[in-house]
Amino acid sequence: MAQLDIVDVGHAYAPGVEEERWALKPLRLTFEPGKTYALVGPSGCGKTTLLNILSGLVRPSRGKVLFDGVDVTNRPTKARNIAQVFQFPVIYRSMTVYENLAFPLQCRRWDGPRIDAKVRQVAEALDLHDRLRQPARGLTADDKQLISLGRGLVRDDVAAVLMDEPLTVIDPQLKHSLRRRIREITEQFRPTVIYVTHDQYEAMSFAQEVLVMKDGRAVQQGTPEQLFEAPSSTYVGYFIGSPAMNFLTVDRTDGQFTLDGRTLAVAWDIPQSPARLQVGVRPEYVKVVTEPGPNTFPGRLRSVTDQGAQRVLEVEVAGQLVRTKTPREEGVPAGEGVLVHLPRAKVLPYADGRLVLRS
């Protein structure tokens, strides 16, 4: 495993393009050895470009790529000692499972007993040990994807495992179990993993750290908990979470936030500013209550969406929609008129779309 450093790296796919239109704007990032990262964002945000620069498939227009402090910017892919797992499993269909896993080690001229021991160790972790002699062409798509991952894990010299939307072609019913198995395997072997996906749930449930991207920029990096609890911008708040974070435009009167003329108490303050002020609160923390009190606002129930064990209620408060998640056993309020409570400790202030905190 290796530490991967991105130093002022940016890229444009055509010469002469102004920097603001580059596919990847210049940025600095460090991927620590042995950790699992997810790059997440909508199509065209630059996540695959960044992955391809790390792999050597794309040479950046600017900046340097360092593996353990060594400049590999101009090195080809084969000289970077990385393993790649793509959207579509890349395996040798004519080989058995055993031969697929052993092939990278044979290319490195390992001796037979060492190859056998390593292949069986990885096959056991992948739950493929009872199919080692089976032709790879007869396997399911998720097992083929596990073989792709296994070919990277058998190597002792792999600097990083780079995954580009590896679960795209997997049956939805199998995604959860495969994601769990991949996570268990990476925790066991501790490679440096960088995982690209457009699915925020996939990123949050898989990675130790998540990097959210937009328009070629890295807009926030942190643990899943940090991104959920304190999005650095309304963009991250909308992108992470389902339903997305609630954002309500508020006024500021005599140093107090007000919503429709009623005081909204928060645990933080922000400097006086002409910026557009909003507060953000996750649907998981909004509650429909029966009695008025601090931070309780009247609203009108607009819709109810059933999500199995939970329901999502949409309530109009001061002309703005607020979503709340409620357990099924709590039922649905009778009538349109409801009271909504916004917990003081979970309400965050945003100025012109950016989180601004001052204790």
Residue 76 has pLDDT above 60, yes or no: yes
Which domains, from first to last, does the chain contain?
A: 4-239 (3.40.50.300), 246-355 (2.40.50.140)
Over residues 274-289, the pLDDT tens digits come to 678 899 999 999 999 9
Over residues 26-65, the pLDDT tens digits come to 999 999 998 999 999 998 999 999 999 999 999 999 999 9
Residue 334 has pLDDT above 90, yes or no: no
Range scoring the smallest mean pLDDT among 165-174, 298-307, 311-320, 349-358? 165-174
Over residues 253-312, the pLDDT tens digits come to 777 888 988 999 888 876 676 678 899 999 999 999 999 999 999 999 999 999 888 999
Distance CA 285, CA 348 (A): 12
At residue 271, the pLDDT reads 65
